[in-house]
Amino acid sequence: MALTASKLRENIYKILDKVIDTGIPAEIERRGKKLRIVPVEPVAVRKLDNLTERPDVFLCEPEDIIHVDWSEYWRP
């Protein structure tokens, strides 16, 4: 969805920072025309940065959990 010029003016620094951080262009609509703010150089997004920490996950070899009794956790 394109932003209006007024919304751009209200949040110019937030919008510019978001474009810089994500690389996703910002679209602005002015007098029936669409404009786009894009980074000149592609943003290097590291996929591993998007991972969330999961403290309840097993940190072991897969073979170690093959014979674990899962019956108390299983609900069909």
Task: Confirm whether 31 is domain-assigned.
Answer: yes
Residue 74 within a domain: no
Residue 59 located in a structural domain: yes
Number of domains comprising the chain: 1
Residues 17-32 pLDDT 10s? 999 888 889 999 999 9
- Say if 73 falls within a structural domain: no
- Cα separation, 8 vs 4, in Å, equals 6
Going by C-beta distance under 8 Å and a sequence separation of 6 or more, which residues neighbour residue 3?
15, 26, 27, 28, 29
Do the beta carbons of residue 8 and residue 28 sit within 8 Å?
yes
Could you tell me if residue 34 is inside a domain? Answer: yes
Residue 27 belongs to what domain range?
3-65
Answer yes or no: is 75 within a domain.
no
Contact 31, 52 (CB under 8 A): no
Q: Please report whether residue 56 resides in a domain.
A: yes
User: Is there a domain that residue 49 lies in?
Assistant: yes
Query: What pLDDT is recorded for position 27?
Result: 96
- What averages of pLDDT result for each successive group of 10 residues across the chain (76 residues)? 91 93 91 93 74 80 80 81
Distances (CA, A) of 51 to 26, 46, 47, 48: 25, 10, 7, 5
